[in-house]
Amino acid sequence: MSAEQGSWCIDKELDLGSERLNAAYRLAKEKHDQCPPRKSGEPYITHPLEVFKILRDEWGIKNENCLIAALLHDIVEDTNVSFKQIQLEFGDEVASLVEGVTKLETNSDHETLKKVLNKSNIDPRVALIKLADRLHNMRTLDSMPLEKQKRKAKETLDVYTKLAESLGMWVVKTELEDLSFKYSDRDGWEKMSLIIKDDPRLSPDFSCYLKSRIEQTLSGKKIEGEVETRNNGVWSLKKKQEKMALEGKGSPDDLNDINDVVSFRVKVKTLDDCYQVLKEIHQDFGGMVDHDRFDEFIGDNKQVNGYEAIQTTIDFPNAGSVEIAIMTEEMEQFNNWGVISLINKQKDLQDYVLKLVFTPSRSVRFLPRNATGVDFAMSISPRVLIEANSIYVDGMENPFRW
Q: Does the active-site annotation cover 109?
A: no
Q: d(Cα 49, Cα 33) in Å, to the nearest integer?
A: 13
Q: What is the pLDDT of residues 260-296, one digit of tens each?
A: 999 999 999 999 999 999 999 999 999 999 999 999 9
Is pLDDT above 80 for 143? Answer: yes
Higher-scoring residue by pLDDT: 4, 365: 365
Whether residue 308 contacts residue 265, with contact meaning beta carbons closer than 8 Å, is answered with no
Characterise 105 by phi-psi region: left (phi > 0), alpha (psi -120 to 50), beta (else).
Answer: alpha
Identify the active-site residue in 50, 74, 78, 178.
78
Q: 24-60 burial string, b = 16+ CB within 10 Å, else e? A: bbebbbebbeeeeebeeebbbbbbbbbbbbbbbeebe
Instruction: Give the DSSP letter of residue 396.
Output: E
Specify whether 224 is catalytic.
Answer: no
Assess whether pLDDT exceeds 50 at residue 1: no
Residue type at position 151: R
**pLDDT beyond 50 at 374:** yes
In whole angstroms, what separates CA 395 from the centre of its chain?
32
**What is the pLDDT at residue 387?**
73
Whether the predicted pLDDT of 85 surpasses 80: yes
Q: pTM score, two decimals? A: 0.83
The H or E element that residue 316 is part of is strand 309-316
**Residue range 104-130, pLDDT digits in tens:** 333 455 555 554 444 446 678 888 999
pLDDT band at 401; cut points 50, 70, 90: low
**Residue 33 to residue 356: CA distance in whole angstroms:** 35
- What does the pLDDT read at residue 283? 96
Band (pLDDT 50/70/90 cuts) for residue 400 is low
Strand partners, 229: 264
Rounded to whole angstroms, the Cα distance separating 306 from 327 reads 13
Residue 338: predicted pLDDT = 87
Tens-place pLDDT, residues 297-345 = 999 898 877 899 999 999 999 899 999 999 999 999 999 998 888 888 8
**With 80 as the cut, is the pLDDT of residue 71 above it?**
yes
Domains of the chain, CATH where assigned:
3-169 (1.10.3210.10), 189-337 (3.30.460.10), 350-398 (no CATH)
Say which residue, 223 or 116, is predicted with more confidence. 223
Among 30, 33, 64, 77, the active-site one is 77
- pLDDT at residue 6 in the model: 38
pLDDT for residue 103: 53
> Which carries the bigger pLDDT value, residue 216 or residue 253?
216
pLDDT at 238 over 80: yes
